[in-house]
Amino acid sequence: MTSQDGASLLKIVSEMQDRASFQELNWTGTFTEYLEIVSKNPKVARNAFQRVYDMIMSYGTEEFIDAKKRLIRYRFFSDSSFDADDAIFGLEVYLMRLVNFFKAASQGYGTERRVLLLHGPVGSSKSTIARRIKRGLEHYSRIDDGAVFTYDWYLGDVEDIEQGRLKENDWEPCPMHEDPFHLIPIETRERFIEQFNSGRPEEEHIFIKGDLCPSCRYNYREIMLRYNGDWNKVIKHIRVRRLVFAEQDRVGIGTFQPKDEKNQDSTELTGDINYRKIAIYGSDSDPRAFNFDGEFNIANRGIIEFIEMLKLDVAFLYDLLGASQEHKIKSKKFAQTDIDEVIIGHTNEPEYRRLENNEFMEALKDRTVRIDIPYITRLSDEIRIYERDFNRKKVRAHIAPHTLEMAAMWAVLTRLEEPKKPNLTLLQKLKLYNGRTLPGFTEDNIKELRKESQREGMEGVSPRYVQDKISNALVSNQEDGYINPFMVLSELEGGLKNHSLVNSEEDRKRYRDLISVVREEYTEIVKNEVQRAISADEEAITRLCANYIDNIKSYTQRERVRNKYTGQYEEPDERLMRSIEEKIDIPESRKDDFRREIMNYIGALAIEGKTFNYRTNERLHRALELKLFEDQKDSIKLTSLVSRVIDKDTQERIDVVKSRLIRDFGYNEQSASDILTYVASIFARGDTKN
């Protein structure tokens, strides 16, 4: 690479830097300037729960109806503007409960004094939800609506400040990123708040809770003594600055993960003594000789996540009691310190059952709000998870149509409970949950199905297992250049014998049986697609439709049909009409109703000045396709693909069908050929069930 190329690359990087944004995020000012900011935008002084709730709501909501139930979808959890790989689908009911927790906490209704515990099976997106909230807070703190401020102490002389001779080394940040309002003396706060809130609407009122941390309390006391109690001079030693949350920098976001019991130390949560500084300050109870850098300390103003919370040693769980109920933590050698942060943990079922059975942990159970996060039970949402990870941008190999759909279908089936209704299969139940309509089932029936299945989604196969097996299929079939549903289903079935979470042979057998169910469903889908590709001759369908309409028109009006070739008038062709209607299971007793329904629809369109098109009637369209397929399948000689003996004319017809599969259904050359061969083998066996 030439030096000129390097310089041009550096120029690109330089031009992409947003210095104005950098300066805004690193804003500093006086305490007076901070008061002016809060006066214009009181939301700056929000507590942690209010900030999280406002962050979620800032992305907007949308209402939708599911089985007559009005639900709210919070766009924050699926927004792609940040962490698109962590988007969450299909958990609307449970995410509503989560947001309601934050809403109640933001309004001070009591849940702000609770630990939020996400509970569910492994791989159900508990940690993803926690991670998304953390990433959301990072992003939110970087925009104007989510601005947060803290302060630094200047430990030099006030003359340095007045004469502008500030020394950067003399600035000491608040170790817990506290709200600058904590600097207002407790005895004057009530009057200050009353004055500030006067004349403002209730939603703009501010509240000041909590006191200075031990380090800031020491600095405050020393500087007050220096100026003989002159608070106005003390406040000149304060520099307010913008606070940007960042987990990597340990600012506003903390994460605590269980370790080996011998290596666990509660100082990881509440800070530890700095032994080097004891020699300087002479006491281990001097706040200057203490590092207030535990996860509780650095997460102040933001959020702390406890990974696999109930795997923690009991001594750690005791720290949660005061942190949640009183919003205070106890650092070694110091009085209790105020904190303002959301405490969120997650755990799986075995650990939670152990907590329930431990009578010595009643206090923690009483301070915990549990929100279940089950597996997804709606097929379309499960598909979206795999499409996010296996798409054209990320995967170079071709993924044949329905591959991810069939993997998702199997995963969802493993999580569903067998329906109690004798006339309903598990696959039909899946389709009902996914929004399909089935004869004899209403939305009220779907609500009943969900109510009678209380444990649904809490057991079954996790998305991680399916993702791993799709990856295996992609690697194992690299030479083929593509994967299809059969390849993935084989991987899913083969992996069951070594699946660490499938312990019983009964579950293993059930999961294998469900793979057979999915294979049968896929077979019906591809037969349908090949049928549609064969019958996708627009002119032929149009002619067949016109012929059918002419006949049912004459039939309903008790007229005869004029033969276009002979010119003679004949009776309506009952054989033709029934051959089409039978394709969509119209019984003999219902044929008159169906024919009148079509004619009434055509008449209604004519009144509006519109022309009838068979595509507007899905059932008739399907019937015409199946009829045309039946008429043309022998001329195409699809079964010749099995014998490998194909004449030129037949090959041309097959190539037309193949090109339609590629164009209309998303296959590539190889997968289209394979699917035609597979369907041909079915027809060769005589299996032509629609």
Query: Cα–Cα distances in Å, from 568 out to 68, 403, 560, 564, 584?
Result: 56, 53, 10, 8, 31
Structure tokens at 424: 């309903």
Residue 619 pLDDT class (50, 70, 90 cuts)? confident
Strand intervals (E) in 201-356: 238-243, 253-256, 272-273, 290-291, 303-306, 328-330, 336-338, 342-347
Long-range CB pairs of 419-428 (<8 Å, 24+ gap) are 419/449, 420/452, 421/449, 426/514, 426/517, 427/517, 427/521
* Confidence at 55, pLDDT banded by 50, 70, 90: very high
Q: Above 50 in pLDDT, residue 689? A: no
Neighbouring residues of 600: CB distance < 8 A, sequence distance ≥ 6? none
Residues 6+ apart with CB under 8 A from 481: 397, 398, 670
| Mean pLDDT value of segment 658-683 | 87
Helix, strand or coil, per DSSP, at residue 55: helix
- With pLDDT > 70 as the criterion, what percentage of the chain qualifies? 94
Q: Which amino acid is at 338?
A: D
For strands 148-154 and 171-173, give the pairing: antiparallel
**Residue 593 near residue 495, CB atoms below 8 Å:** no
* pLDDT confidence band for 565 (50 / 70 / 90): low
Count of all residues that appear for the chain in the document: 690
pLDDT on residue 161: 74
DSSP alpha helix (H) spans, 331-442: 349-356, 362-366, 379-389, 403-415, 426-433
- Residues 579-600 pLDDT 10s: 888 888 888 888 888 888 888 8
Ramachandran angles phi, psi of 171, nearest 5°: -90, 135
Helices (H), ranges, 67-147: 92-106, 126-140
CB 355 within 8 Å of CB 371: no
- Taking the C-alpha atoms of residue 622 and residue 627, their distance in angstroms, rounded to an integer, is 9
Burial 126-155 (b: 16+ CB within 10 A, else e): bbbbbbbbbbbbbbbbbeeebbbbbbbbbe
Residue corresponding to tokens 């766009």 = 75
CA distance 180 to 169: 21
In the chain, what are the domain boundaries? 379-532, 535-631
Phi, psi of 256 (to 5 degrees): -125, 130
Q: Write out the two tokens for 228.
A: 């003989």
The span from the CA of 529 to the CA of 547, in Å, is 25
> Which of 88, 86, 123, 119 minimizes the C-alpha distance to 346?
119
Q: Other C-beta atoms within 10 Å of 168: how many? A: 5
Whole-prediction pTM:
0.83
Pairing relationship of beta strands 336-338 and 328-330 according to DSSP bridges:
antiparallel
pLDDT of 634 over the 80 cut: no
Helix/strand/coil for 86 = helix
C-alpha–C-alpha distance, residues 43 and 28, integer Å: 18
Q: Kindly list the distances between the CA atom of residue 483 and the CA atoms of 39, 486, 513, in Å, as whole numbers in the listed order.
A: 61, 8, 22
Closest CA to 457 of 529, 355, 349, 563: 349
pLDDT (0 to 100) of residue 647:
65
CA atoms within 13 A on the CB side of 630: 15
pLDDT at 356: 80
Pick the more confident residue, 109 or 534: 109
Report the alpha-carbon distance of residue 627 to residue 102 in Å, rounded.
57
What type of residue is 511?
A: Y
**Separation between Cα atoms, residue 48 and residue 43, nearest integer Å:** 11
User: In the 8-state DSSP scheme, what is residue 343?
Assistant: E
351 compared with 12, residue with greater pLDDT: 351
Q: Where is pLDDT greater, at 677 or 145? A: 145
Percent of the chain past pLDDT 90, that is, above it, reads: 46
Backbone angles phi, psi at 471, to 5 degrees: -60, -45
User: In the block, which residue shows the tokens 């000045």?
Assistant: 609
Burial code (b: 16+ CB inside 10 Å, e: under 16) for 565-574 equals eeeeeeebbe
67 contacts 377 by C-beta, under 8 angstroms:
no
Average pLDDT taken over every residue of the chain: 87
Q: Is a pLDDT exceeding 50 seen at residue 690?
A: no
